[in-house]
Structure 1
């Protein structure tokens, strides 16, 4: 059974949702029959990378709220992340356009390292304060998961995999995806947002039972905490 996950590197709920989904999948009886594919999505495709912008200021600007309110929201998400076993450090986070990070992820997917790429990208952005738009940084991340550093650098110099990123985004639009993370199981059931582990477990079981029985697909969506297009989380 195939599970496709649309996400953006700079989406805080995507990393949380990833970890909760992994917890559900780890205990899923039929996990060996599940194939997971990560898909690209951009919350703010026009964002200009600027390491001088504080993440709280960025959130305040896109939501039209005060910096104090933005900090409170980020503190709340940091607590959610901690409960999922993740460490967020928004004081170090660098506001960056994620397009090249997605191209990097597609390169990694070609080498069977798609999941590993997503993990190091999320950790680099939310925990380590690295610039995920910087090509040297991405080359180093690639090397850390087993990719050839020179191949990563060469790939990012051109436009390779740009069409793959755009195809993923177009497919998401066709499905009516308005925010991420967005988990699609057997093109039949969708979990939108960082749902509790139990929600992932229930949807996994339902999707698998119908997949195993060969029932036709009809997309049914379960909603949860997510980030919307425009970067609004």
Structure 2
């Protein structure tokens, strides 16, 4: 059964949602029959690579939303507490705000190589915990190397227009499905979970969707075990 997850690596609730989803999946007995695909959703493509107040996210959000600096700090402190409950450490005092396009390019390149989830995780951690500048090509090359990409791979990801086209297609697809924001989880194109809901709530939806999916996919074999030889000449009976 396929689960599609739209997210933006600059979205604090997306990282929290990722952890809550992983907690739900860890409790799901048929998780080997779940295929996950990460998809791009740029929350604000208009942000410059180096915006005003880049190194002060409290001031950046205050100016962007037209709220007081103090309210911005309070909002971020609340999100940091939510992240801690999910097992994450957010260091907003180190966050470097930037446009997320380059990060999404890297994710799109990593996906067909089976590295989409690793790219998401590494970029989330780099942004929210380590305070790395995701607009810096050298930083992105380092992060790409961390997940198994070469320097040439990262250069291709950052320059080939095909990856930007895919980012735009993912965003359009999310809009067509009714996504108002991220994280947005679509399960078997029948159920959707909007926002970073708890692992328990996600597990309930996952179980409901899987029960329906399994009824429509009888190709799953019910195996009766007998004497068997497996690759590697391991024979048991």
Note if 1:85 corresponds to 2:87: yes
Deviation at 1:150, TM superposition (A): 2.2
- Structure 1 counterpart of 2:48: 48
How many aligned residue pairs are there? 215
Give secondary structure in 2 for the equivalent of 1:177. coil
Give secondary structure in 2 for the equivalent of 1:183. strand
Give per-residue Cα distances to partners, 1:132-184, cap 9 Å, x unaligned. 12221111111001111222123313424111101100101111111100000
- Structure 2 counterpart of 1:36: 36
Give secondary structure in 2 for the equivalent of 1:91. helix
Give per-residue Cα distances to partners, 1:32-72, cap 9 Å, x unaligned. 00000000001111101226421011211222210110000
Distance 2:30 2:156 in 1: 39
Give per-residue Cα distances to partners, 1:74-100, cap 9 Å, x unaligned. 000001101111000001101110011
- Structure 2 counterpart of 1:150: 152
Gaps of 5+ in 1: 216-233
- Structure 2 counterpart of 1:129: 131
- Structure 2 counterpart of 1:22: 22
Distance 1:177 1:127 in 2: 27
Q: Which deviates more from structure 2 when the two are superposed, residues 131-140 or residues 11-20?
A: 131-140
- Structure 2 counterpart of 1:109: 111
Asked if 2 retains the 8 angstrom alpha-carbon contact of 1:41 and 1:165, the reply is yes
Structure whose CA Rg is larger: 2
Give secondary structure in 1 for the equivalent of 2:4. strand
Distance 2:156 2:185 in 1: 31
Distance 2:141 2:11 in 1: 21
Return the TM-score normalized by structure 2.
Answer: 0.88
Give secondary structure in 2 for the equivalent of 1:179. coil
- Structure 1 counterpart of 2:220: none
Correspondence for 1:64 among 63, 66, 88: 66
Asked if 2 retains the 8 angstrom alpha-carbon contact of 1:11 and 1:180, the reply is yes
Asked if 2 retains the 8 angstrom alpha-carbon contact of 1:103 and 1:160, the reply is no
- Structure 1 counterpart of 2:6: 6
Deviation at 1:199, TM superposition (A): 0.6
Asked if 2 retains the 8 angstrom alpha-carbon contact of 1:136 and 1:153, the reply is no
Distance 2:63 2:214 in 1: 47
Distance 1:24 1:149 in 2: 35
Distance 1:190 1:169 in 2: 16
- Structure 2 counterpart of 1:201: 203
Correspondence for 1:192 among 184, 191, 194: 194
